[in-house]
Chain A
Amino acid sequence: MVTYIVRRLITAALILLGASFLVYLLTAASGDPLEEYRASSAPNKQQLIDARTELLQLDTPAPLRYFKWLGGAAQCLIPFANSCDLGKNIAGQPITDALGHALIQTLTLVTGATILAILIGITLGIVTALRQYSTLDYGVTFMAFLFFSLPIFWVAVLLKEFGAIGFNDFLRNPDVPMATALGIGAVAGVITAVAAGGAMKRRLLTGGVAFLFVSAVLIYFSATEWFKNPGLGPVVIAIAGVGIAFAVTLLSAGLKNRKALQSALIAVGVGLVVYFLIQPLLDEATFLMMVLLAVAAVLVGLAIGFLMGGYDRGQSMRAAALTSFLVGFLIMLDRYMQAWPSYFNNSRVRGRPIATIGASTPNIEGDFWILSLDSFTHLILPTLALILISLAGYTRFTRASMLEIMNMDYIRTARAKGLSERTVVMRHAFRNALIPIATIVAFDIGGLIGGAVITESVFSVRGMGFLFLDGIQHIDPNPVMGVFICVAITAMVFNLIADLAYSALDPRVRVKA
């Protein structure tokens, strides 16, 4: 195994060297760095040309310049020496600084989107695999391919137009007319009816309920100006919590496990009590506190499951822990909603919360809730755009992989020995279906950093993509190389991880060395 890894690392280093040489030469040859001065009528034209030539060392041939650059870059390998030198960009900023900043910008943009895309994509993939050739399957496949084939700059512009500008206009006077409410309700009803599956009667019933529910909620929201003063309140949290308890138990332990269900329900009860107790503490929230609270919620859930006892404690603990985490999330959501009016009326936001550009409102001041709401309103559109585009891949892969597994002999065996469908799907099929997906996810994470160039430019985020484009525009290899190195290293590392993960997950392909 170790030899295998070492061999892979050595090849990776060689590939990196060769590729970086190529990229450097290509960038250097991609244009004329002095173009802006060539036709200049400035009296000091020659002086400007000289300055640029010196800055970019244009009098050294590109291959030699590469080795100069390599000499600086090689110092990055010396640990703790702090002598990393990737050169400077045209504005005189060290590339290491620029990269550090750009990396953070890009990661903030893509991390949430990737995680959500993976979660939603895998869920949709499993559901469509289980309901192969149903209306739902066709519907999801159609939507997935539709979004997959849309150019992201266009999706992004549309999202800005309707999701930000249109929605902000709506928020100015959040009034949903009766007809619109009924219309949205009807759409929701149809979608639910299609998704529900089963006999026509069941579909009609669920569809009808969804229609009535959504319409009623919208009319209620409109009448109480909920969009201006949103909130969940203990009642909604209680109802939703019970729903979560049932859903979580269904998936993790099965409803037949009464102890697990009871633990989950107790967790909801505890959550409701905590809801009232914790409000003053939440007013003082910090990020660290939220993390600790999340950990505490999980621990409390585990404790509840443990105390419930029973012959399979683990299942109860798992169900209660997940439930209490999700209820905690609801409580947090409610607190965000409480902060919404003051964010909405903030003098910097001026009643137009959803942003089209950047990562935050300049000069905004406020507590944890206001500031993180500000981040959310800025991230929501790019995240949505990225999710829509990358959803298709995950959905289709999971579906294919799941279908293949579901037709395996051992699944038939599992069914034959009388296991519940839940156990068959969740325990026997799903886990094995994840193996190929794990590799795809690893690949995707490797490509993340360099993969959002267009999204970055449309949403005006100055991340890695911007750095790269800016370098290309000025025929300045330094920033391009900086980005290239980062992207190439992550891609290679994650490729390696993908391979290792595969062999760890699937004993059949384990390398013997």
Chain B
Amino acid sequence: MRFGRISKAVGVAAAAALALSACAGNSGGTTPTTAAAAGKTGGSATVVEVNAFNTFNPNTADGNTDINSKISYATHSGFFYIDNKLNVVRNEKFGKMEKSSDDPLTVKYTINDGVKWSDGTPVTTADLLLQWAAFSGYYNDADTEAKTGTSYFSYAGDPTGLALTDFPELSDDGKSMTIKYSKPFADWEIALGGPGIDIPAHVLAKKAGLTDAKAFVDLLKGMPRGDKAAPKPANAQLQAMSELWNTGFDTKTLPADPSLYLSNGPYIVKGVNQDQSLTMVKNKDYAWGPEAKLDEITVRYIGDSAAQVQALKNGEADIIAPQASADTVEQLKTLESQGVTVEVGNQLSYDHIDLNYSGPFAEKNVREAFMKSVPRKDIVDKIVKKLDPKAAPLDSQLFVPDQASYADSVKNNGSSAYQDVDIEGAKKLLNGATPEVRIMYNKDNPNRVDAYSLIRESATKAGFKIVDGGLGKSDWGKALGDGSYDATIFGWINSGVGVSGVPQIFKSGNDSNFNMFSDPDADKLMDELIVTTDKTKQNELITQVDKKIWDSAYGLPLFQAVGVDAYSDRITGVKYMPNQTGVWWNFWEWAQK
């Protein structure tokens, strides 16, 4: 009896063991295969980003965030890229971009042989044409007021430049494309073809039901320019393609269909772990541009600056670029002893105080007096010196020190008169008057509050009566330009490359000209500027505009925001970059020690 029971138990146990081994994984032994990774010379690096990746098309209004642009930058190539001195650098190995005529401005793009997508399809002018169609808004005939017509590609960038062009001329071999502008466009160099040609036309065409890229080109060729006034029924095929362009590349995971993440650049995306990390490996075909050194780049997302610093310290991250604050910089400096390199530099955004050309500031003397009383050095000392000991007040309204022309412009623009606080000079100009000045700023931003307090203290000494017009985070932006204040402290972002932003702020009557600065000479210079295609000439014009602005006692630029990046001693080749591309600008130079 007993034995019978035990033998039954053994039987059950044996059956259970069998069942268990049946559900066993087939992964084999315990040790993972590390040999494959160790055998290569390239090595790997982990870069930390704040935001999570969410689309392979960084040009759309929804997808236009830093992280998407950076991934696109590393996985695509084009005719140019921008270096950390804010110069446009041509990539002749990819192709040639030449201005063949100044009047009418004509630009010819030629793609080299051998440049191809990672599925083997050559990169052709069809891809460039697709970019042109999306960036120019050529086919859009939507009228938002009347709610008629169609808006095809929802492009986040500025279409005004390419909107001046006609349908491009395409060569038969699909290698060169020529666009002609109806009037000269200053920023033609960065208007098209770079830093990455990121969406493959042949994929889009196929998914929209066209046979190939050629059919796509023919389709576009056959369509006229969109006209708001005379909207046509939407073209189904173009609409299908533009919808795919707008949202088809949005994903938080690696798509099952590899054609949705084709690469034509140094790297190709290998894996996406939703909201955690993204991994890129070398594109083995790539030979048309700067050669990348690392075999693999992993991007991890960490929002919190302190967490970024600790991840670097713990070896989980190799390169970080956290939001700069006094604490973060201090924490990073303590890591220098463990081999971490910290780079502190300027960013393109800068704070400034603008004076309205009305109210108490209608008179130039008063504006000048006020400007003399603004303690720019104290503001820099208090706000940015603790981050960057080399920080100095910004002395140009239009250039940043990273640009070569900054030094020239500063010499002559008249900023030297406002280097130090001159209370006596201000009093003399005021001549006993005590104007009441309301200063508006974002009072939820501690830097702006500090700047305001310092200015108030100093301007009061000169005889101004300062009224605190600070508004909360959600209100100050709406108040800009509404005349409820006399002076305002806020931030602007210098575009770094390209001049289209200049008239936006400084031309009479323009959208962002909040203080109503108006100078006919400056307007004329800016009109000339946006049709000037020569870089040297552009800089000369900007220098002149800069002087005009300073001469009219517009207000004062205060300081540039500080950026910081840091990398561990495993990695070399990281270089600081002031614009939003950040450290990624020269990712191909990154190497593992």
Q: Of the listed stretches A5-13, A179-187, A253-261, A282-290, name the one at the interface; the rest are far from the partner chain.
A: A282-290
Cβ of A312 < 8 Å from any Cβ of B?
no
B279 touches A286 (CB 8 A): no
- Of B9, B26, B28, B311, the most chain A CB neighbours within 10 A belong to B311
Q: Of the listed stretches A28-36, A143-151, A238-246, name the one at the interface; the rest are far from the partner chain.
A: A28-36
Cβ of B330 < 8 Å from any Cβ of A?
no
Q: Which residues of A contact B21 (CB under 8 A)?
A: 281, 284
Cβ of B29 < 8 Å from any Cβ of A?
yes
A307 touches B5 (CB 8 A): yes
Cβ of B300 < 8 Å from any Cβ of A?
yes
Cβ of A165 < 8 Å from any Cβ of B?
yes
A284 touches B24 (CB 8 A): yes
Cβ of B315 < 8 Å from any Cβ of A?
yes
B32 touches A367 (CB 8 A): yes
A466 touches B492 (CB 8 A): no
A43 touches B37 (CB 8 A): no
Closest residue of A by beta carbon distance from B28: A367
Q: Which of B23, B63, B158, B473 contacts A44 (CB 8 A)?
A: B158
- Of B54, B296, B315, the most chain A CB neighbours within 10 A belong to B315
Cβ of B505 < 8 Å from any Cβ of A?
yes
Q: Of the listed stretches B88-96, B423-431, B475-483, name the one at the interface; the rest are far from the partner chain.
A: B475-483
Bound-complex Cα distance A42 to B64 (A): 14
Please name 15 further chain A to chain B contacts, defined as beta carbons within 8 Å, in addition to the given A42-B504, A52-B61, A352-B314, sorted by A numbering: A42-B495, A43-B501, A44-B160, A45-B511, A47-B158, A50-B144, A51-B156, A165-B314, A284-B24, A342-B32, A350-B315, A366-B32, A458-B304, A460-B301, A462-B301
A34 touches B271 (CB 8 A): no
Q: Which of A35, A101, A307 contacts B275 (CB 8 A)?
A: A101
A51 touches B480 (CB 8 A): no
Cβ of B536 < 8 Å from any Cβ of A?
no
Cβ of A407 < 8 Å from any Cβ of B?
no
Q: Of the listed stretches A225-233, A354-362, A383-391, A505-513, name the one at the interface; the rest are far from the partner chain.
A: A354-362
Q: Which residues of B contact A51 (CB under 8 A)?
A: 61, 154, 156
User: Given A39-B491, A41-B492, A346-B32 in contact, is the A32-B474 Cβ separation under 8 Å?
Assistant: yes
Bound-complex Cα distance A367 to B24 (A): 11
Q: In residues 299-320 of chain B, which contact A (Cβ within 8 Å)?
A: 300-304, 306-307, 310-311, 313-316
Q: Of the listed stretches A75-83, A90-98, A409-417, A494-502, name the one at the interface; the rest are far from the partner chain.
A: A90-98
Q: Which of B301, B303, B310 contacts A165 (CB 8 A)?
A: B310
Q: Which of B19, B20, B473 contacts A32 (CB 8 A)?
A: B473
Cβ of A57 < 8 Å from any Cβ of B?
no
Q: In residues 44-90 of chain A, which contact B (Cβ within 8 Å)?
A: 44-48, 50-52, 55, 90
B63 touches A91 (CB 8 A): yes
Bound-complex Cα distance A182 to B23 (A): 47
Cβ of B27 < 8 Å from any Cβ of A?
yes
Q: Which residues of A contact B33 (CB under 8 A)?
A: 365
Rounded to whole Å, the gap between the CB of B40 and the closest CB of chain A is 11
B30 touches A32 (CB 8 A): no
Q: Which residues of A contact B144 (CB under 8 A)?
A: 50
A45 touches B298 (CB 8 A): no
B23 touches A288 (CB 8 A): yes
Fill in one digit per residue for B143-159: 1 if any A CB lies within 8 Å of its CB, else 0.
01000000000101111
Cβ of A419 < 8 Å from any Cβ of B?
no
B307 touches A296 (CB 8 A): no
A91 touches B493 (CB 8 A): no
Q: Which of B279, B302, B495 contacts A41 (CB 8 A)?
A: B495
User: Given A55-B62, A458-B307 in contact, is the A303-B9 Cβ separation under 8 Å?
Assistant: yes
B477 touches A342 (CB 8 A): no
Closest residue of B by beta carbon distance from A280: B21
Cβ of A369 < 8 Å from any Cβ of B?
yes
Q: Which residues of A contact B19 (CB under 8 A)?
A: 292
Q: In residues 363-385 of chain A, which contact B (Cβ within 8 Å)?
A: 363-370
Bound-complex Cα distance A44 to B477 (A): 17
A284 touches B314 (CB 8 A): no
A462 touches B474 (CB 8 A): no
Q: Of the listed stretches A156-164, A314-322, A434-442, name the one at the interface; the rest are far from the partner chain.
A: A156-164
Closest residue of B by beta carbon distance from A363: B279
Cβ of A338 < 8 Å from any Cβ of B?
yes
B276 touches A358 (CB 8 A): yes
B275 touches A105 (CB 8 A): yes
Fill in one digit per residue for B493-517: 1 if any A CB lies within 8 Å of its CB, else 0.
1010000110011000001100000
Cβ of B277 < 8 Å from any Cβ of A?
yes
Fill in one digit per residue for B118-161: 1 if any A CB lies within 8 Å of its CB, else 0.
00000000000000000000000000100000000010111110
Q: Which of B54, B302, B492 contacts A357 (CB 8 A)?
A: B302
Q: In the complex, which range does the number of interface residues on chain B fall in?
A: 35 or more
A38 touches B477 (CB 8 A): yes
Bound-complex Cα distance A270 to B300 (A): 46
A357 touches B300 (CB 8 A): yes
Cβ of B490 < 8 Å from any Cβ of A?
yes
B477 touches A460 (CB 8 A): no
Closest residue of B by beta carbon distance from A457: B304
B314 touches A168 (CB 8 A): yes
B276 touches A35 (CB 8 A): no
**Which residues does A use to contact B, with CB under 8 Å?**
30-32, 34-35, 38-48, 50-52, 55, 90-93, 97, 101-102, 105, 157, 160-161, 164-165, 168, 281, 283-286, 288-289, 292-293, 296, 303, 307, 338-339, 342, 345-347, 350, 352, 354-360, 362-370, 457-460, 462, 466, 475
Bound-complex Cα distance A30 to B490 (A): 21
Closest residue of B by beta carbon distance from A345: B34
Q: Which residues of B contact A458 (CB under 8 A)?
A: 304, 306-307
Rounded to whole Å, the gap between the CB of B491 and the closest CB of chain A is 6
Q: Which residues of A contact B478 (CB under 8 A)?
A: 32, 38
A356 touches B30 (CB 8 A): no
Bound-complex Cα distance A355 to B26 (A): 28
Q: Which of B20, B30, B65, B493 contacts A289 (CB 8 A)?
A: B20
Bound-complex Cα distance A352 to B478 (A): 50
Cβ of B389 < 8 Å from any Cβ of A?
no
Closest residue of B by beta carbon distance from A358: B276
Rounded to whole Å, the gap between the CB of A461 and the closest CB of chain B is 9
Q: Which residues of B contact A286 (CB under 8 A)?
A: 23-25
B32 touches A34 (CB 8 A): no
Rounded to whole Å, the gap between the CB of B406 and the closest CB of chain A is 18
Q: Which 4 A-B pairs have the closest CB atoms?
A: A38-B477, A284-B24, A462-B275, A366-B32
Closest residue of B by beta carbon distance from A466: B303
Q: Which residues of B contact A292 (CB under 8 A)?
A: 16, 19-20, 23
A356 touches B24 (CB 8 A): no
User: Given A46-B511, A369-B30 in contact, is the A31-B474 Cβ separation under 8 Å?
Assistant: yes
User: Given A38-B478, A55-B62, A460-B302 in contact, is the A284-B26 Cβ separation under 8 Å?
Assistant: yes
Cβ of B274 < 8 Å from any Cβ of A?
yes
Rounded to whole Å, the gap between the CB of A352 and the closest CB of chain B is 5
Q: Which residues of B contact A363 (CB under 8 A)?
A: 271, 277, 279, 296, 298
Bound-complex Cα distance A322 to B298 (A): 45
Bound-complex Cα distance A354 to B313 (A): 12
Cβ of B55 < 8 Å from any Cβ of A?
yes
User: Given A44-B157, A357-B300, A462-B52 in contact, is the A32-B314 Cβ separation under 8 Å?
Assistant: no
Cβ of B31 < 8 Å from any Cβ of A?
yes
Cβ of B17 < 8 Å from any Cβ of A?
yes
Cβ of B250 < 8 Å from any Cβ of A?
yes
- Of A35, A50, A97, A460, the most chain B CB neighbours within 10 A belong to A460
Q: Which residues of A contact B501 (CB under 8 A)?
A: 41-43
Identify 12 residue pairs between A and B in the complex whose beta-carbon atoms are under 8 Å apart, listed by A's number. Answer: A32-B478, A38-B478, A41-B512, A50-B144, A55-B62, A157-B306, A289-B23, A289-B25, A360-B273, A363-B296, A367-B28, A368-B25
User: Given A34-B477, A50-B144, A357-B300 in contact, is the A101-B274 Cβ separation under 8 Å?
Assistant: yes
B252 touches A370 (CB 8 A): no
Q: Which residues of A contact B490 (CB under 8 A)?
A: 39
B20 touches A293 (CB 8 A): yes
Q: Which residues of A contact B512 (CB under 8 A)?
A: 39-41, 45
Rounded to whole Å, the gap between the CB of B269 and the closest CB of chain A is 12
